[in-house]
Amino acid sequence: MDTQTTLSTKQSTANSLRERADSSFECIRDEMQLVEQLLREQMQSEYEDLSPLLAHGALLGGKRLRPALVLLAGKAAGELTGDHVVLGTVMEMIHTATLIHDDVLDSADQRRHLPTVNAKWNDQTSILLGDYLFAQAFTLSATLGSTQACQWIGDAARRVCEGELRQIFTSGCSQLSEVDYIDIIRGKTAELCRISCRLGGTHGGADLPTQTALADFGENLGIAFQIADDFLDVWGSTERVGKTLGTDLLQGKPTLPLIHLLQSDPSMQTQLDELQSMSDAARCQAIVTRLEQSDAKAYTLATAQRFAADAVAAIDFLPESAAKKSLQQLALFSVSRNF
């Protein structure tokens, strides 16, 4: 497949995709604004020195996918309340904390067209700001008066870390199976989406089968979303994605394109080992060339689409509503986006 053509097609449809994402949020527009407002309130400090840092942190999340999931799941299942705004803000803060720490782990300079905290300040500040956000998010979640929500949120955050640790421990491991990879991203990325949907449903008055269906929806969407992220790390445009690309490949992080390539050609590991002496840019290009010569691109996209379809199917039994339609659109959008 021709990367240039794909990128140029993507560029031409970028606006309509962004609009599609925006239109998914139409039925929760007011509540999304309340989340934004609460987020800004939470990212203030009584210490003047820390204010620019916290304000910068509030900008890094960007897509606001997790608050949207909380609100849409709540609306698809029943009525939205003030709890949903709090929960959406909590999920976004935890997500932002993980991004800030990820940027230290990846030594990334840019995220969503903004300098990362580690680039603008330093690694130490990033580690502490991430910790600060985690703690603040847990404090905020406890204001809801439900220890069950606190437990779910704490456990979801733990699973995210567990997934990321497993990813590090399998880094450079050419034997990682696709099953183990999916299990890792189920923790690393899908867990926060899963719990966002489940909490949204629960606080919207959903019965147990609906809660479970919404949780399944969120998990499948999260997996699809991460596979699309892996795809964009290889075939995305730095300008559109707004962060340093190719870092997964260079760090030997096992992502689906590479796992599939290694499994489909037994000689590939030796070929990749021989690239070690190259410069980063040359090595990245050489890996991409090998991926392009295989069916890794089509396979990665098809796998992401399969999980997106599973997400859509999981909530198909819910009564028709604008919120349900938006959730299903979001699942499809998560794999068709180019940013």
Can you give the binding site for its own copies, defined by CB under 8 A?
45, 47, 49-50, 53, 97-98, 101, 104-105, 123-125, 127-132, 134-148, 150-151, 153-155, 157-158, 160-162, 164-166, 168-170
3-state DSSP call for residue 7? helix
Residue closer to its own copies by CB (options 35, 192) is 192
d(CA 216, CA 213): 5
Nearest to 136 by CA among 43, 48, 61: 43
Show the DSSP H helices in 236-314 as ranges. Answer: 238-241, 247-250, 256-264, 268-273, 280-293, 296-314
Residue closer to its own copies by CB (options 93, 241) is 93
Residue closer to its own copies by CB (options 52, 205) is 52
d(CA 110, CA 207): 42
Residue closer to its own copies by CB (options 202, 334) is 202
3-state DSSP call for residue 219? helix
For 64-84, letters b (16+ CB in 10 Å) and e give bbbbbbbbbbbbbbbebeebb
With 0-12 CB in 10 A as exposed, 13-18 as middle and 19+ as buried, what is 142? middle
For the CB of residue 37, give the shortest distance to its own copies in the complex, in Å. 20
With 0-12 CB in 10 A as exposed, 13-18 as middle and 19+ as buried, what is 31? buried
d(CA 247, CA 74): 36
Nearest to 114 by CA among 103, 123, 129: 103
For the CB of residue 125, give the shortest distance to its own copies in the complex, in Å. 6
Residue closer to its own copies by CB (options 50, 59) is 50
For the CB of residue 106, give the shortest distance to its own copies in the complex, in Å. 9
Show the DSSP H helices in 60-190 as ranges. Answer: 65-77, 82-105, 117-120, 123-142, 147-169, 178-185
Residue closer to its own copies by CB (options 4, 47) is 47
Residue closer to its own copies by CB (options 178, 292) is 178
For the CB of residue 55, give the shortest distance to its own copies in the complex, in Å. 14
Residue closer to its own copies by CB (options 72, 153) is 153
For the CB of residue 87, give the shortest distance to its own copies in the complex, in Å. 14
For the CB of residue 1, give the shortest distance to its own copies in the complex, in Å. 33
Write down how long the chain is.
339
For the CB of residue 322, give the shortest distance to its own copies in the complex, in Å. 33
Residue closer to its own copies by CB (options 187, 246) is 187
d(CA 317, CA 210): 9
For the CB of residue 191, give the shortest distance to its own copies in the complex, in Å. 11
For the CB of residue 88, give the shortest distance to its own copies in the complex, in Å. 18
For tokens 């449903």, what's the residue?
201
